[in-house]
Structure formats: structure tokens, C-alpha cells
Structure 1
Amino acid sequence: MAQFMDVHHGMVGITAEGLKEAHDADLAIQGEERVNFMQAWADPATGVVYCLSEAPSAEAVQRIHERAGHPADEIHAVPLQV
């Protein structure tokens, strides 16, 4: 399964609780698209949120995020890691 890093903008002031709620919303339905959201990070000052997932496609990642109420602004494949 491929890995993807997606980016959300405009979430200025997000709290740890808000990040967990958004992540939990993804986790609740991720299996319907065979997505596995692994980790999420946020910078409340800039409003940027990053999510790392394994999925069959970037489109599957976006469908889950859209249904959970927070579509990604960018989704990048992560083909290499160390």
C-alpha cells in the first residue's frame, strides 16, 4: 500500500483536542476506503495540519477527509523513506 502526506491549511488556532477530533473522524470511516491514517501533526500558529496515511490512492484519502468534513488542500505521495 502506498503512503501519502496530506496538508490542510486554514486551521489557525487548532488545539490538541480539535486535532484529535478531526483525526478520530477520519479513523471512524477509514476502512470504507481501505485507508489507514497513521499520524497527524498541527501548527496552531500557521493553521497547517499534516496527516500521514497508507492508502490505495490519493483519491481514497481525499474521499475520507471530505466525508469527515475537512478536505485536504494537498496530497503528496511518499515513495521513498529512510
Structure 2
Amino acid sequence: MTRFMDVHHGAHGVTEDQLRQAMKAEAELEQEEGVRFQHVWADPESGTVYCLTEGPSADAVQRVHERSGGFRPDEIHPVPLSL
């Protein structure tokens, strides 16, 4: 399984409740795509959201975001090395 960091822009004013709702919708699709969302960070002022995920591919991560109706990532980066 590969880890991915996806970056979402344009989420100005995002709230904790909105993030929780998006994560709940994504969690319902995780098993179907083999994706597991591990952590989410957000900066409501800049409108940037970061998600650390684990999954078989960036495409699988993208599909979960799209199918859930949540925040669509602008970038998805593999993270093959971490300490």
C-alpha cells in the first residue's frame, strides 16, 4: 500500500464540521476502493486542505473524493518514504 498526500485548494472558510462530514462520506467508500484516510489538516484562511491517505493508487484516492462529493483534490502526491 502506498501513502499519498493530497492537496485541496479553494476551501476558504472550511469548518471542522464540514471536514468531519466529508470524512464520514469518504469512510463509507474506503473499502470499495481499498483506500484508508489517515489524517486531515486544514487552513480555513488560505483554503488549503491536506489529506494523508493510504491506498493502491492515486486514482483510487481521487475516485473516493469524487464519489463522496467531498473536497476534490487539486494535487495527489505519492509519499514513498517517511521517517
Whole-angstrom distance in 1 between the partners of 2:51 and 2:27: 12
The residue that corresponds to 2:57 in the other structure is: 57
Report the residue type matching 1:77 in the other structure: P
Structure 2 stretches lacking a partner, 5+ long = none
Whole-angstrom distance in 1 between the partners of 2:39 and 2:23: 8
- Counterpart check, 1:31 vs 2:45: no
Identity of aligned residues (%): 55
Compute the displacement of 1:23 (Å).
1.2
The residue that corresponds to 2:79 in the other structure is: 78
SS in structure 2 at match of 1:41? strand
Whole-angstrom distance in 2 between the partners of 1:80 and 1:71: 24
Compute the displacement of 1:71 (Å).
1.8
The residue that corresponds to 1:19 in the other structure is: 19
Compute the displacement of 1:14 (Å).
0.5
Whole-angstrom distance in 2 between the partners of 1:50 and 1:23: 12
Structure 1 stretches lacking a partner, 5+ long = none
Runs of 4+ displaced beyond 2 Å: none
SS in structure 1 at match of 2:72? coil
Whole-angstrom distance in 2 between the partners of 1:68 and 1:43: 21
Aligned residues: 82
TM-score by length of 2: 0.95
TM-score by length of 1: 0.96
The residue that corresponds to 1:8 in the other structure is: 8
